[in-house]
A and B are shown apart, each in its own frame.
Chain A
Amino acid sequence: MSDLVRLEEITKYYGERENRVAALSGISFSIAQGEYVAIMGPSGSGKSTLLSILGAMNPPTDGKMFVDDIDVYKLSSERQADFRREYLGFIFQQLQLVPYLTAIENVMLPLVVSDEKDHETKASQVLERVGLAGKSHRLPSELSGGEQGRVAIARAVVNEPPILLADEPTGSLDSATGAEILSLFSELHLEGQTIVMVTHNPDAVAGANRMIQIKDGRVFEDKLFDKGPV
């Protein structure tokens, strides 16, 4: 598997001078195409900062990030937006569905800024893929937690991004629903999707084939599961 993502000595400071705090210090690792990486760590360890850097939304104070050999933070702000559209799919903590758009409209959002012509057909196909074919015209408030999670995943993959970034996708769900969502992630991984997930959930780790532990802004442990994804 070739390296899709490469982080080189990523450092991120917040604050100024004597109030400066290092969120990340000298993080370096690569992610190969098709990997399912779970990033774990205690609160304040820097995992959210790491995910935002991976998401091309938070320029590091030092270091470089390459995706598909593109030096991401050398791009202009607007080209970074284009990069996110083309390379990344996001599943946010709390899912963050747009409350006034229906399920299918939420899924169509990334298509608004893409070259895709037939938004509705594409979105319908993806919703069917995640098992929500009959609920495309419901608002998020009319869907269960698990269904909202599926919509969030559909929205993230509709543009077929090479990398899926997920921030605690099961954090607000009960265990049964969480398991459903993780099962979906596993299915996507089996299809070749590269996934990077920040999580506290041991079940999510169990589904991944690699775990990176962050502690005090550094890589504490980087473990590849020989047996592959569960």
Chain B
Amino acid sequence: MTLTTIALKNITRRKGKMALVVFGLALAVATLVSVVSLIRAFQGTVDDKLNEYGFNIIIYPKSKELLIKYGDMVLGSVSSYQAPALDQADLDRVALVGKTSGRIAGYSPKLLEVDRVGGKRVLVAGVDFRAERRIKKWWLVENGRFPAAADEVFVGQTAAEKLGIEAKDTISVRGRVLRVAGILMETGSQDDDLIFAKLDTVRAMTGKPGQVSLIEVAAKRTEDVDSLARSLERALPKATVQSVRQAVEFKSSALSHLIKFGLGITAVIIFISGLIVFTMMASAVNERKVEIGIFRAIGFRRRKIAAIILSEALMLGLISGVAGYALGFGLAQLLPAVSRGAVSAIRPSLTLALTGAALSVGIGLLASLIPAWRAANLDPVEALKNL
């Protein structure tokens, strides 16, 4: 027989009290596991959503003049709408940076031109539709379809309403007849006000072969935006490279608040858990005075007595670690189900399981130190009362 046997036997005898200890510790672990899992899921979801929300870097030609901008859309300098241009070589450099860094999810060049349609001034954007749809996954067709032929256009919701355009209509741009293949579903961005045509079509209409007004770049991860922007700046000395800060800052801010809140809750639960364990173990030691007196009388040294108490705490900690992880993981799994997929699925994590177990054992041992000390220093005569 060993001290461990004695500890194990005592645990099985005092099921009620030990169940409370396990509950307290499991609660702390479950809180940690569910909070960390949720933060990770949220992080993943935000990353996915932000990456879906298109470009986070915009590249446009350097200009000494003040630029007309709406949001992040550069329209030209204040002296004219005749904006300076980037060219194919710049596109090639962007492609090269993407290839060497592996950090570009996609990029879309645009040639912007102001024109008249139906007597009204509109902004016409020449785009590579495939590249554009890669970085703007929210583009949906309200009516019709995406353009296929060179003489087809795609019209923003607001522009269509103001110009009285519907799918299959034809419009005239710079004397060229173009067919409306489809209407873009409202995006809430500047795209609603634009008419999109194929890039080569706009280049031909405007006599600007190979030119682009700006390039929108989507980084694979929001964390890489700044470093990618710096790489693009070095590759494109004639251009201004601007990262869209809001997305990164939103994520950092939101995550930071979530982490602080989560850690705060976890810390409170850990404290409460420690109190529960301390109270139960201290009470158990009190109930075992006679038994401890027997152990001391038959020759158990103080450290053996303490070892029995701490062995119990260790075993309970391990049990609680497993139970707490299962509970926390189960709770965290509810969120994707409740949010109908708005939050990413949560995956099991060995690291988190081991951390949970270590936390549980740590709290258990720490909270049992004083009860173990008291047990070890019980006066055997007093404990036995009558010898």
Contacts and interface: CB of A to CB of B under 8 A. Distances in A.
Interface of A: 48, 51-52, 55, 57-58, 77-78, 81-86, 88, 90, 92-94, 96, 98-101, 105, 108-114, 119-120, 155, 167
A52 B384 CA distance: 10
A119 B6 CA distance: 14
B9 A90 contact: no
Contact of B299 (A77, A81, A93): A81
A112 B387 contact: no
Contact of B386 (A48, A78, A108): A48
A112 B299 CA distance: 10
> Is chain A's interface secondary structure helix, strand, loop, or mixed overall?
helix
B387 A167 contact: yes
Contacts of A83: 299
B303 to A, nearest CB: 8
A190 B258 CA distance: 78
A93 B387 contact: yes
Given A48-B386, A112-B300, A119-B1, 19 more contacts: A52-B381, A57-B297, A57-B381, A78-B301, A81-B302, A82-B301, A84-B299, A86-B299, A100-B9, A105-B5, A105-B9, A109-B294, A109-B295, A112-B2, A113-B298, A113-B299, A113-B304, A114-B299, A120-B1
Contacts of B64: none
Contacts of B296: 57, 81
**Which one of B9, B381, B387 has the greatest number of beta carbons of chain A within 10 Å?**
B387
Size class of the contact patch on chain B? 20 to 34
Nearest to B304: A113
21 contacts: A55-B297, A57-B381, A57-B387, A78-B301, A83-B299, A84-B298, A88-B299, A90-B387, A92-B384, A98-B291, A99-B13, A100-B9, A100-B10, A100-B12, A109-B298, A111-B1, A112-B6, A112-B300, A113-B298, A113-B300, A167-B387
A219 B296 CA distance: 29
Contacts of A88: 299
Nearest to B305: A81
Contacts of A105: 1, 5, 9
Contacts of B2: 112
Nearest to B386: A93
Contacts of A96: 290, 294, 384
B3 interface: yes
Nearest to A112: B1
Nearest to B10: A100
B380 interface: yes
A101 B8 CA distance: 11
A181 B147 CA distance: 105
A84 B297 CA distance: 7
Interface of B: 1-3, 5-6, 9-10, 12-13, 290-291, 294-302, 304, 380-381, 384, 386-387
Contact of B3 (A111, A112, A167): A112
Contacts of A110: 298-299
Contact of A167 (B10, B301, B386): B386
B6 A52 contact: no
A57 B382 CA distance: 10
A55 B290 CA distance: 16
Contacts of B297: 55, 57, 84, 90, 92
A58 B387 CA distance: 10
B291 A82 contact: no
A55 B294 CA distance: 12
A173 to B, nearest CB: 16
A67 B9 CA distance: 35
Contacts of B381: 52, 57-58
A112 B10 CA distance: 16
B343 to A, nearest CB: 47
Contact of A81 (B9, B290, B300, B387): B300
Contact of A109 (B1, B10, B12, B380): B1
B295 A92 contact: no
Contacts of A81: 296, 299-302
